[in-house]
Amino acid sequence: MNFIYKYRAINTRGILIENYKISHSKQEVFEYILKNNLIPISIKIREIALYTTKILSYRLHFMYQLSVLLKSNISLIQSLNIIQKECHMSVWKCILAEIIKRINQGEAFSATLKCYPKLFPEIIYRLIEIGEHTNSLEKNCQLIYQQLQQQQILKQKITKALQYPCIILIIASIVVSLMLFFVLPEFKAIYQTFNAQLPIATRLLIIISDKIADNALYIVVTLVCIFWGILYIGNIRQI
């Protein structure tokens, strides 16, 4: 599991540096600081490094900012530095800091994005790579932004379209539950009063109702866990 660490260190000129680093352990961050010729002062864990829906949605804002800054004839490094300083998300600050560092060491921008496949899938870093080779990085960033925006709009439409069927399904489930727990037991009591034999279909429903009533707590807990698990898997992805 990866964590976000905030570290404070002093460089060779005696300047205090505060930054973030995504890492498996504090020891790894300590070694990273020493490797960069810094004197460590403090290393504190901030949070678990996760790709939440909020983190992924910021990608749209990032590509828009980058395309605008590049269009204004601001260099790639300066643009990334501006975005990183204005960003308030720890995960993004770490990622941007690492990208800036690697570019300064001579790596291509597209190559640095390959290190974060969940955040920057192949279609994104391929377009960035083409932009670098054809001197059209700003145009390709704008194209990526437009594609991400269209994907977001489509996702919102799908979510909205599924709302009505989900509401109907919930209402139907409530009605069926009320019948199993309240209506069928009343029928059972009425038939027992007259010593009449219940139809096979009704008897089966009553047996099911009794089984559900006996295990109601376990069923509710299981359903809640399944629902929570689906939300967790859908909205949170570990780096």
**Nearest Cα residue to 59 out of 144, 155, 154:** 144
Judged against a pLDDT cut of 50, whether residue 237 lies above it is answered with no
- Over residues 152-169, mean pLDDT: 88
**pTM attached to this predicted model:** 0.68
Three-class SS state of 19: strand
Judged against a pLDDT cut of 60, whether residue 186 lies above it is answered with yes
Under 8 Å between Cβ of 6 and 44 = yes
pLDDT confidence tier of residue 236, bands split at 50, 70 and 90? very low
Contacts by residues 129-137 (CB-CB < 8 Å, ≥ 24 positions apart): 132/108, 137/70, 137/76, 137/109
Q: 32-81 pLDDT, tens per residue?
A: 999 989 999 999 887 666 667 788 889 999 999 999 999 999 999 999 99
